[in-house]
Every structure is written in C-alpha cells, then in structure tokens.
Structure 1
Amino acid sequence: MLDENFLHESIINRQISKRYGRDSYIETIEQYNRSAEVFSSVKTKDTAYIAPTSYGKSSIVREVILQNEFNRIAVIVPTKSLITQTYNDIRKLNLNYKLILHDEMYTGQEKFIGILTQERATRLINKFNICFDILFIDEAHNLLSTDSRNLLLSRLIMLNYKSNKNQRLLFLSPLVSDISNLKIKNTSEGPIAESVIKHNLKAYEVFYLDKRNRLSAYNRFTDDLYPLASNTNFIDYITTRSKEKNFVYNYRPKNVEKIAEEIYNNISVEIESPTIRKISKVIETEISEDINVVQYILKGIVYLHGKMPTILKEYLEYNYKELPEFKYVVANSVILEGINFPIDNLYITSTFGLKAKGLNNLIGRVNRLNYVFRENSIEKIISNIHFVDSETYTDSRSNMINKIVLLREHTFTDENKNPLLENYNVDNLGLSRYEKESKIIKDNRIIDATDFLINREAKNQSDRIKLNFIENNIDDFYKNVDTIIPTVISNIQKITDPDNVIQTIYEVFIQNLSYEIKDFEVERLKNEKARNYYKYYIELFQLFGLKEKINDTIKYFEIKAQTADPFLYIGSSFGDTIRQSAVYTNSETQQEVYINLQDKNRQRLANIALIKIKLEEDFVSFKIKKLIAFLFDFNLISEKAYFLAVYGTADVNLINLTRIGLGPNIIRLLNENEQIKNIQFDDNGNLISNSDFKQFIRRQPELVQFEINKYVR
C-alpha cells in the first residue's frame, strides 16, 4: 500500500554516498536526495529542511550559499555563542562576500553575509533600511514558542518581507512535525517546500537504573522493562559503563557541577598525559588555581553550562572535541543547540522539561554520523542511552519512567504557541477557561505590538519610543509598554548628567517607574549601590581579563562576607538560601536565589565568582546595553559616552575589532603592545595579520592565543 517513491527509498535508504567538493562527507541516499531538493527549491520558494541531529544542516547552509547568487544573506543563529562557530564555518569558504557579525559592521556593501542574532538583524534592517535576499533560520522550531526572542524572530521575517516580497526562507530544524506550522502570517503565498529525512540511520538501546539501583533494559517497541543483573549505585554505574566519550546530562547547572565532582571523586587515578596537564596548568595560571575544573581536567572530566564565562566554556568545548583523553562531559541544555561533539555514550540524570521532541534531540547528540563515518566505527550506529534515576539529581516534579515511555512515539505534535504564526489556534493549547482568556489578552498585545513595528507608524516621540522598545524587546521589561511611555518622556526632560550613562538609565527607565517593571534584574537599578557597581563595571571591570575579574570578585565577596548583609543574589540556578524580599510575589519568596558568603571557603568563592561574572556579563550584554543603545539612538548621550560604555573605548579602529568578537581585554592588550597596526580587515571583513603580529601572538598565554586565533588569520 506504499507509494512507489516511498518504497524505493525505504529499500535503499541504508546505502550511503560520499559527496566531494568544498565539503567532503558521507551521507545516506535519502540525505543526498533531500539535499538536492533543498538546493533546487530554495531558488524559488521558502523551504524547510527537517532532519535528525547530525544530518548535515550546517552543510546545507554552506552549499546553498555556494550554489546560488543571493547578494544579501542572513544566517540567523539562536545564541551569540553560535555566531563565532558559524562565522568560522563560512569564512573557510573564501567567498567574495563581506562577513558581518554585528549591525554596526555594515558599511553599505551590496554583497554580504550576516551571521547574526535576530536582535542584530532587526537593527540592521531598521538602521540602514536594507533587506535580505535569503534568511537561514537555524533551530527553526524555536518559532513555535512565544518568548520575547522568538517573537522578535517572527517579526524579523515579517519586517524583511515588507521590504522584499521575494525573500527566500530556509528553515532548519530536527524538531518540526508539520512544516506548515512554521509559516509566519502575511509573509508569503503558497506552501513551504518540504524536505524531510524520515529514516534515521542510527538506532539505540535503552537502559534504566531506578532510584533503588535496580537495572533494566527497556524495549521501546513493546513497552517492556527487562530486569538485568546489577549491584551498583548512581555514580558507579556511570563510571563502570563509560566508553571513550561520555555525555552526562542534567538540566540544572548546580547539579551539573555536583555530578562532575562525584565522577572526579570516584576516579582514583589521574590521566598520564602531558597535554592534559598542560591544559590544567593553563587554566590554573591564566584563570584561577581555585576553580574545580583545574583538578577535574586531570581525570579527563569537563563540565559545561550557560553560567560559565564564554572564554572558559569555549576553551573546554574545543579541547573536549579535539582530545581523546577527555572522557566525560557533564552538561545541561547548553549542549543541545549547534555544538558538534564526539559522544558515544549518554547518561540522562534528569528529565524535567524534556518532552518527546527534546528527548529525541538529546539522544541524537550521541554518535553523530560525521564521527561515525570519519572513524569507520559502524558499530556506533547503535548508541547506548542510560536513564539514571536518583533522589539527588532527578527533579521530584518529573517521573523518569514516564519520560522513557515517550521514546515509543514515532510522530510528534508541534506545540504552536506563537500568535504570529499562520496556523496558530489558542483552542489547540488545552488551556482552562481562565488560562485561555489570559492568553488571548497576551496574544492581542503581541499582535498589536507587531503591527505597530511592521507598519512603523512613528508619527511623534511617543511612537518612536514605543517602536524602539518593541524592536529591541525593552517592552519585555515592563508590565505594559503603553502606560509607561508618558513617564519615560517626562523623565527624558530631567536628565542631570548625560556623561554618567548608568545614572541616565536610572533617570529615564527606572525613576518613577519601578512599580511598572516586571524584570527583577532591571528593577535592581533603583538602588544606588547597584548603580555604582554597574558604573564601575562598564568603566573598568569589562576591560579586565577573566583572571582579573575573578580576583576582583573574590575580594568583593570576602569583604561582603564580613558585613551585616553577607547574602549575595545568585539566581535560582545556584541559590541555596531563601531571603524574604518585598520585590518577590508570595510564590517567589520561597525561592532559593541567594547564597550566604560567610560559610564559603576560598575555593567555593572562586567557583561562585565564575558564575557571578557570567550573570553580570549576560545582564550587561542583553539588558543594560539595550538601554544604552536607546539613549544613543535618541541623542540622550554622546557618541563618546556610548562607545565607552558599550565597547570600553572611543577609538573607532578598536571598536571595529570588538564588533567582530574580540573581547575588550584582548583589545587592550593589543593596543598597549602597539599591535593594532599589524592587523587589518580585508575587503571581505576578515581580520588578517602580518608576520610581526603572528610572532607576537606566539609569545602570549594560551588562552589569549585561543581567543585571537578564532578571528585573526
């Protein structure tokens, strides 16, 4: 009863083919055919390539660029951390395009490739009145959700379509069931062309260790558990069944660090490897001797989560990928988007928040096909997946066996929660009457704000402010954007010192408005101590290297620990103390979002410092700098004040280096050593250097070399 084409591919899909050219990789026949469909259809229509993890979505992006003549290209990535990875992939193609990583890097080029987040792409369109010929939407399933960043992604597509009715979209995802659900309202006619990998070459065996240390094998086809002989506990099970490259997953960053510590304590012998010892020494010398990873590395263990400073996280990721001596990576969902790791064994130690799609995406990280074929290890086609239950690390709100049963599902339903998508229907969300009424009110606000943004009805100052708020998600800081704008306008008239950027932020966005602010981090700026700290941060702290930042932060912790207020806000990921606060609602007063610095030794303070540094880095990057950009856009601060606050320098040559990704501390180092003259941008926006610069870099500490070599040829 199968149609002929389906039967044909069902029979031959196990065959593989090797594609040669700029990319050389092995793919299934089905993968080859679906790729060819994409290359053909994307010329004339919007297209979606839906494939399991490791089925060549990054290669699709490169090939589409190579095979077509689009002038203005945007690759939209979900996180800033993926910008560098994608930039390096495209840079290797040596194309005649200007590469742009930031809206302020655009200088009027007709041919360019923007590797951008949705925020930067939106600002590029609005600031320069340009449009893209094609938008690559990576991790396109994010469009189905309704958080502020994915609403902005939907609005970006709508905004670009308004200026370019012939725009092409290429959606890339492993997690979309119905392609039509990706269609944005009023952005194109006709259906999205569909290219779907239906046959996953990989298979997997499932094991379950329950909280009583009973081991079973799970048959997902018959829904049966088969008891196996076992006499092992949580951590012994992980270490005794480990393979060459093991991924231990837990959704909480705090638990990620605790599990890494348990594995470390359970392994008695350090690895005899000069390379491993060198990496440990690099981190000890160039970051801190007190942080845990210095010791964990010696036993082949790294841990990763989103609360780690970017340079340390990227350095650990790189070495785990490159060195066989690293045996364990303990991580949370930070590993799920875009990171291509060698993994041949997976331990799932918590299932909270994982639904059928997310679970399959997580499992898809094991034995990616490029590693299987590169190593000629065909036995890795079958992966081992271990669900390891425990009282300590498994959230009480999630029953692990109920999540294991989800592996039986062969089809998944898209949860379309985005009112800007064509197929959205609030009746399909299964909400109660009260929840539905609340959702409709919220949806209407989203739709009204989107209409305002797309139609750009900015007739007066109030409209221009509202437009900027929506465009940059500043409206997300407040309960209702329309009610606060009159106060913002009034506040603008009372600015006291435009050169004091943080004070100006308070006077414009916080003063007389704290009761309207729903973002706790932003609301903190009503306190003078907080404003003084962030003034210090943008004027000095952001220029420090990571080692300087850690030492400075530990000193602050040690002083604060001796005061009458030794409590530090650290957020729910690492908080262990409840502290009553008038800012929280009744339900939030019981959250453990603080830590008491008095009972922490120096080693613990150093690890907390890493987390605090990343929290502040994200707050300044994603929130404070949005407000600073607003002040500059409305001529409320000078260009010099804007440059110093955002980039740490007013020198345009140095700012261009920062825009491409080099950190302010690296810029400071190069400037102080008179190396700026030895690097320059070529016509395509690549940083190139001379022999003097290369010689200088070879004399620098390894982490400095690592960061610079990501961007400079």
Structure 2
Amino acid sequence: MKKLNLKELRNSNFKEMYYPLLCNAEISNEKLIKLLKIAIVFLSADDDYLKKLGYKIILLYGNKTGDYIPLYDVSLNLGYIPVSKLIERKMGKELFGGTFFKEFQAAFQETFRKNSTYLSFGQQELNSNFKKPNSNESFAVIAPTSFGKSELITSTLDEDKNICIVVPTKALLAQTKKRIMNSESYAKGRKIVTHHEMYNLGDRNFIAVLTQERLVRLLQYDKSLAFDIAFIDEAHNLLDNTGRNHLLATAIMMLKNRSASVRVHFLTPFLLEANNLKVKFTSFSLKSLRIDEYIKTERVHVCDFRENGDKQLKLYDPFLNEFTDLKQEKTYENYLDLLIDKSGNKNIIYVNAPKDIQSFALELAERLPEIQDFEINKAIESIADFLDVNYSLLKCMKNGVIYHHGAVPDNVKLYIENLFSSCRDLKYIVTNTTLLEGVNIPADKLFLKSGKVGKTKHLTAAQLKNLIGRVCRFKEVFDESSGNLKLLEPEVFFLGSDCYTKKKPKSLPDFIKDRLKIDKKLKEKAENLLLENSDRTEDNKLERDKLEDFLENVEPNITGRRDGNYAATEVGKLCFQHNILEFDIVENEVAIQTVVDDLRANNYVALSSNELIELMNNLFFKFIPSNSKDRVILRLKEKDKARDFYAMFFEKKMANPSYKQMIASFVFHWNKTLERKKNEAFVYVGRWGDSNRGAGGYYKDWVNLWGKSDAVKVNLAIVRIKEEQEFVSYMLMKFVEVINDLSLINGDTYLKIKFSTSDPYKILLIRNGFSSSLSTLLINKYKEYLSINLVNNTVTIKPGLYDKMKEYRESEILIHEVTYIA
C-alpha cells in the first residue's frame, strides 16, 4: 500500500470533511467520528506532518465538543504531559472514575513533574541531555518560546564556576539578572556583574550578564580572565552581518581563546543548522538539542482592508496550504472594527515602525471607551509626573491601550510591561520586534498590521513563528487556576491597511503561505563574515580583512595570521580597544597621534562639553570617510550645528537633570528657535521626521515645528531624548573613553558626561543597573537602606526600602524599578 503524504492529501476530498471542524461550523456527529478515525490513522503514519495534523484534529474536536478523552489519550502517548494534566484537572473523575488505571497514569505523569509544573517529554529530554554528568559539550538549544530555555541557564548556577550570559540588548540585563536572583539555584550574595566596570581583578565564581559590547570590554580589561560556561541568548542574531553581531562573534572567539574547555551554549527559538553558529578561528564541537513538539496549533486569519483588498475574513490552514472564507462571520467595514470585535483578554498588535506604533495606538484608543480603574489612573498620574502630562501614552492608557518600542524610556517600559501583565483592563499592547527579544507578557491573541521588520526587510518565517509563539504562552495555558485548553489554539490576524501595511507585501495570503506552510523548505544563511559557514568572495574580501585586523588587534594571534595590520601607536591601540570602526585606524593612527602629542605638549585638557566635542572632531570625526553609510555619525563630521547640539546635550547630561527637566529643556530650545525663525523652524528628529527639509534629499529626517502644539513637541522630545541617550551610550562614549585614556579630559568632566555625576556612590549604583534618577534619589534620601561596597563594586538593598518609599509617596516608576532590581 502506498504511503500517504500531505501532497496527496491536498489533492483529495479530505478538506470537505475537515473544513467544517477547522472553521468551527456545524458538523454532524457522524462526520466527527470519521474525523477521529482519520486522526488516528494520521497519528500512526510515518509522515511527521500527518502526525501533527492528526493531533490538531483531536485538539479541534476536544475544544469544539468538550469531549477531551481522545486528547487525553493522545497527549499521554505523545508525551504532552502538561496537556494531559490540565485535562485531568478540568475533568477530574470523569476520566477514569478513580480506577487503578487512573492512579497508574497519575504516577506516570508525576515523573515529568518539576517543582509545581509538568514538563513535556521534549522538555524533560532537553533538560536531561543538557545536564548529563561530566558533560563538557557545547550545545545549540533550539526550542520554541515557552519551552524552558531560560531554566537551562539557572540550572548551571550551582556550579562553582565563572558563568557568562550574553544578552542582545541592555533592556534584558535587568530582566535576566532578576530571573537569576529569583531562581532556587542562586546562592544569595554571589556577585552578578552587569557592567564591565563592576568587575574587580581576581573575581572568581561570579556571574556576568552582559551585552556583547560589555563582554568584549571586560575581556580586554583582564587579559587573563576566562569563563567556564557561556550562554548566548537569542543566538540566531549571530547569523546577520552587522557590526553588533561581528562583536558578538568576536566575544565568542575571545572566550574560546582564553579557555579551550569553555562550554558555549547557544539559545534560540529557531535555527535550521546548528553548525551555522560556529565562529571562525575556534575549534569546538557543537551538539544540537532541538524540541519539535507540536503542542499549540495556531488559527491564522487574514483580512485585507487595503484599496484593492476584498475585506473578507479568511482562515488559513498550514497543512492544506489553503485559505477558506469564513462566510458565517459578519463583514467588517474597517480593520479597527474587526480588531475590537475579535480581541481577547490580552492582545498584541504588531506594527513595524515606532512612529506608526504610536499613531496606531492613538487611533485604536479613540475607538475604545474610557476606563475607570484605580491602578490605571495611578499609573497615568505617575508617568505624567515622571515625564509630562502631554505624553501620548497616557491618552492610550485611559482607554486600555499601551505602546512599547525602543524609544520609550527604559524604566517606564519596565513599569508598563508589569502593569499590562497585572491590570485586567489594559487589553492592548502595540509593539514591534522589541517583543521578539525576551520580553515576556501575557497575551492570547496577535494582530499583525505589517509584515515588515526594520526599514527594508520583511519578517522571515522564523521571526514570524517566534512572534506567534509570544501569544498563549505555556505559563498562561497551563496555569493551575486559570488554564484553558482553548489557548492551545492561539488566534492570529493579519490585517491589511493602506496606512500601515502599505503596498508590501502585495498579497497577504502569499506572504502567509510562504512563511507558514507546514512543509515549506526553509532556507538559512550564515551571512556574518566571522562565521565558519559564511561565503568567502572577492566582493567581501576587503571587509573580511578589516574584521580580521580588528580581531588581531583586540586579541593578538587569535586568527593565526602573520600578515595582519597592527596598530603601532598609543591612540591606534586604544581605538581598537574601544571598538572604533568608523574609520580605518591603521591608516589614520599616525596623523591622530601627532594631534595627541601636540595637545599634550601644550598640557591641553578638555574642561567643557564644547571643548570635548571639538576635540572629538579633530581626533576622530574628521577621519570618517565621506561615503560612510552611518548618516548620523557623518553629520558630526560635516555639520557644525550637529556638533553644537551634542555639546548642548553633554552639557545637560552633566547637570544630571530628571527626564521631565530634559523634556522641558528640549521644548524650550525648540521654542527659542521658533522665535528666531518665525514661520519655519526645521529640527533634525531622525525616523520621527516627516520632511526632507526641502533640500531634495531622500530621507525625511526633519520636522518643521511651526504650528506644532506643545503636546507634539513634548512627544517628540521624549522619543528623541531616549534615542540620543542610546546614541551617546553606544556611539559617542567610545570616543570619550579613548580621550579619557589619553588623559585629555578633566576627570570630573569625564565622569559627569558618562554618569551625570561624579559621586562615587551614585556611579556605583548606575554601574549596578540602577537608573540615574533612582540612583540620585536613593543616595540623597535612602542611603541607610543600601549596603554599598566601593571596593567590591557591589550594592545590596536592605529590607524596608520599598515600604519607606511608599510611605514618602515616591514615583511609582522608581518604586517598581527598586522591586525589579532588588
């Protein structure tokens, strides 16, 4: 007998029986029984896709009829123990009536218990293989969201070793540290380093939670430092050929160069080939640990409201790779009608660009009723006091909506993430790919208004599946009190609109088919030129040589090359040490060193922000090539006004203003510009712009403030301050660090530009992950609740601080930050 496969099934009349069940339409008991029999056949097939389809039919049947006995049997056989345990809790004695068989099944399931949760067979096998005794292997752990990759990190904490966790963003430092401190394996008092300057020479048995930039700096600071275990979180990022991922590959090479026995574990929700993560100039075996369990089966809908769209709600099936019209559904005039009607208790709405995120959140909020909720009103009051009463987020919150993107101030972002999780009346979060990198929030439905990610690319199949995995997380699905089997069918809606989806993708159904077809042969390429499997071509030879020169200067002899270009001057070596790649260091180092020597001969030291910016220009910016692709850094070379702005920004930073004061300063400065220029005042705002300033340029980086309300200016100020802080931190500070190492800046000026203070106690708190605002408040008012060790670079919070801050009615945002960090 010929074996059945999906291709043949798609050409059969199976869909006539299957679609009524899939679409939750009327279906006879006779057909339901037939479908159950077919599902059993599929589950017994050799084809893995048919097995998954068999499970899906059983799940759909249970959720439609309320008869979960078939699903109970199947989930036990497949090792989906969390599913079978939830059915047990829901049905109780209805399953077996207290028989011996019931007791036997219960005992079997207890072998999958871990603390208060139950693991699936795949999760248990992953844990078992990862923690094999005396295992010195490195693993690529490939498992969907919710499958417990984070628990693998905490499982190693009881080992007496130096452990490093590399996270992709600064925002994840505090979250990862918090997870470690809350784990049972963490020994209270063990040092956790989240900034390279927290490390002391000789530290041992410590945990480092760092971005790749901070890890490279740490390894450069202590040339003898080695780690025993390293975790690379969101490791799929390593495949991309970007500056930050070159630095991540560099960090991995340095880890292996320091200790050949270091175990490097790569954690990712998606990856086709583990060997694609292998970096050059290292040798280590990489074993793949993969979970491919099909416990959730999403219901994917599409409705195109664009000018040429049919406005018909359709349901997609990834097995048959077809859409079917949901004719029993009512029709919708616009995407907001559909979104509001189909929304669940908690909803993620994906919109690509931060500017569009805010405009859509406001558009949605205007369609929703205002909410009277004590917690929301208190939060609105706190954020208004911390930032400004005109912040558009507050308008959204009044109607149950928040937005979340990279230009929301960090401590406000932490605060609203927690608020969204805990407050029932906050139902909608509008966000972008910031959600793909480790942010965990409860949600039961996902709406996508765009298929793009960044300026030019579309969501890949892996990124889309990762985003879908963020809804109906196992924590919510299998919760002991509120668990719901219907959450195993997370609902996803693609909504086309002229405002947000625009013209691409041209066909939403084709976009979905290309990414979600169950048997689609996906492709993956190691584009990062520092990976073993990357292509070596004549076109990329120059870039490869530059990267290898950088490696040799950062970690000598790491590549084994003998013909590398090494820095010969003090300033050249410092530029490599601080990861300055904006110009050719070796080519320009002698000219820069000549300027440095002349300054030293005249005992020059920069005392002010204006002097510092001018010094940065003379030493660095003037050497940036005019064809640089980094338009922002190029402006510092070419535009006096750009340098004047950053001199002003440094000056404000040195005064340690609150965020509220910074907003007022920006708006005041813009209003002064308006007074001078009357009917036209263009200011540079980057991606928040709507004009090219009439200069015929391609990029709309500018906005004309004439006629703009104070509320518009306030909201522009909030996002621009956050983005400028990031630019200063990631880009400009490395130039300042070189100048400081050359002793060409006043020590007090340097500290105030870097930390907004020269107070060693406040600096220590900032290095330990406290925001500048919280550090100032705690040192000025609550120092007795802090245990500070300046020698060891550590700080701990004593009991009673939270209650005392509540008593004195401090900002709820800063109080939450304390609970998050402590």
TM-score, normalised by the number of residues in structure 1? 0.90
Match for residue 595 of structure 2 among 485, 491, 500: 491
Q: How does 1:468-547 map to 2 (within 5 A)?
A: 468-475=574-581, 477-478=582-583, 480-495=584-599, 496-500=604-608, 501-511=612-622, 513=624, 515=626, 518-526=629-637, 527-541=639-653, 543-547=656-660
Query: Residue deviations 1:50-107, cap 9 Å, x none?
Result: 10111111111111223x33x2111100000000000111122341521111111111
Matched, 1:446 2:547: yes
Q: CA deviation at 1:446?
A: 2.1
Aligned counterpart, 1:81 = 171
Aligned counterpart, 2:11 = none
Q: CA deviation at 1:603?
A: 1.5
Aligned counterpart, 1:153 = 248
Distance 1:21 1:556 in 2: 61
Distance 1:709 1:14 in 2: 35
Matched, 1:652 2:760: yes
Q: Is the 8 A contact 1:505 1:628 kept in 2?
A: yes
Distance 1:26 1:364 in 2: 19
Q: CA deviation at 1:177?
A: 0.9
Q: CA deviation at 1:11?
A: 4.2
What is the number of equivalent residue pairs in this alignment? 687
Report the CA distance shift for 1:219/1:12 in structure 2 as closer, same or farther (over 3 A): closer
Report the CA distance shift for 1:10/1:148 in structure 2 as closer, same or farther (over 3 A): farther
Matched, 1:396 2:396: no
Matched, 1:65 2:157: yes
Q: How does 1:595-610 map to 2 (within 5 A)?
A: 595-610=703-718
Distance 1:684 1:261 in 2: 44
Structure 1 or 2, whichever has the larger Rg, is 2
Distance 1:35 1:614 in 2: 40
Query: Residue deviations 1:343-362, cap 9 Å, x none?
Result: 10001111022011111111
Distance 1:193 1:24 in 2: 30
Matched, 1:228 2:326: yes
Match for residue 278 of structure 1 among 378, 391, 404: 378
Matched, 1:554 2:667: yes
Q: CA deviation at 1:606?
A: 1.4
SS in 2 for 1:438: coil
Distance 1:194 1:9 in 2: 25
SS in 2 for 1:577: coil
Aligned counterpart, 1:126 = 220
Structure 1: unaligned runs, 5 residues or longer: 427-435
Q: How does 1:197-596 map to 2 (within 5 A)?
A: 197-210=291-304, 211=306, 212=309, 213-229=311-327, 230-232=330-332, 233-267=334-368, 269-352=369-452, 353-374=458-479, 375-399=482-506, 400-405=508-513, 406-410=515-519, 411-426=521-536, 437-455=538-556, 462=568, 465-475=571-581, 477-478=582-583, 480-495=584-599, 496-500=604-608, 501-511=612-622, 513=624, 515=626, 518-526=629-637, 527-541=639-653, 543-564=656-677, 566-572=681-687, 574-579=688-693, 589-596=697-704
The percentage of aligned residue pairs carrying the same residue is 26
Distance 1:236 1:3 in 2: 41
Give the CA RMSD over aligned residues. Answer: 2.8
Q: Is the 8 A contact 1:491 1:508 kept in 2?
A: yes
Report the CA distance shift for 1:634/1:21 in structure 2 as closer, same or farther (over 3 A): farther
Q: Is the 8 A contact 1:208 1:387 kept in 2?
A: yes
Q: Is the 8 A contact 2:403 2:431 kept in 1?
A: yes
Q: Is the 8 A contact 1:9 1:30 kept in 2?
A: no
SS in 2 for 1:342: coil
Deviating more after overlay: 678-687 vs 108-117: 678-687
Distance 2:119 2:623 in 1: 60
Report the CA distance shift for 1:562/1:10 in structure 2 as closer, same or farther (over 3 A): farther
Deviating more after overlay: 613-622 vs 93-102: 93-102
Distance 2:593 2:422 in 1: 54
Q: How does 1:673-688 map to 2 (within 5 A)?
A: 673=781, 675-681=782-788, 685-688=794-797
Query: Residue deviations 1:182-210, cap 9 Å, x none?
Result: 11123233x31221001131111111101
Match for residue 643 of structure 1 among 751, 771, 778: 751
Distance 2:802 2:355 in 1: 41
Query: Residue deviations 1:558-609, cap 9 Å, x none?
Result: 222334361111113x22111366xxxx9xx212111111131121111111
Report the CA distance shift for 1:461/1:408 in structure 2 as closer, same or farther (over 3 A): closer
Q: CA deviation at 1:175?
A: 1.5
Structure 2: unaligned runs, 5 residues or longer: 1-44, 52-73, 83-108, 453-457
SS in 2 for 1:416: coil
Report the CA distance shift for 1:175/1:383 in structure 2 as closer, same or farther (over 3 A): same
Q: Is the 8 A contact 2:757 2:763 kept in 1?
A: yes
Report the CA distance shift for 1:670/1:171 in structure 2 as closer, same or farther (over 3 A): same
SS in 1 for 2:539: helix
Match for residue 210 of structure 2 among 116, 132, 146: 116
Report the CA distance shift for 1:563/1:403 in structure 2 as closer, same or farther (over 3 A): farther
Distance 1:2 1:186 in 2: 41
Deviating more after overlay: 89-98 vs 373-382: 89-98
Q: Is the 8 A contact 1:491 1:511 kept in 2?
A: no
Report the CA distance shift for 1:152/1:509 in structure 2 as closer, same or farther (over 3 A): same
Q: Is the 8 A contact 1:498 1:638 kept in 2?
A: yes
Q: Is the 8 A contact 2:407 2:723 kept in 1?
A: yes
Report the CA distance shift for 1:3/1:336 in structure 2 as closer, same or farther (over 3 A): closer
Report the CA distance shift for 1:137/1:692 in structure 2 as closer, same or farther (over 3 A): closer
Q: Is the 8 A contact 1:26 1:370 kept in 2?
A: no
Query: Residue deviations 1:228-277, cap 9 Å, x none?
Result: 2342111111111111001110111111112111211111x222321122
Distance 1:451 1:25 in 2: 48
Distance 2:393 2:47 in 1: 55
SS in 2 for 1:203: coil
Q: CA deviation at 1:465?
A: 4.0
TM-score, normalised by the number of residues in structure 2? 0.79
Aligned counterpart, 1:430 = none
Aligned counterpart, 2:263 = 168
Q: Is the 8 A contact 1:538 1:648 kept in 2?
A: no
Distance 2:153 2:579 in 1: 28
Deviating more after overlay: 414-423 vs 380-389: 414-423
Aligned letter for 2:816?
F
Aligned letter for 1:221?
F
Distance 1:663 1:487 in 2: 39
Deviating more after overlay: 347-356 vs 519-528: 519-528
Aligned letter for 1:344?
D
SS in 2 for 1:188: coil
Q: CA deviation at 1:42?
A: 8.1
Match for residue 106 of structure 1 among 193, 199, 203: 199
Report the CA distance shift for 1:321/1:487 in structure 2 as closer, same or farther (over 3 A): farther
Q: CA deviation at 1:541?
A: 3.4
Report the CA distance shift for 1:692/1:150 in structure 2 as closer, same or farther (over 3 A): closer
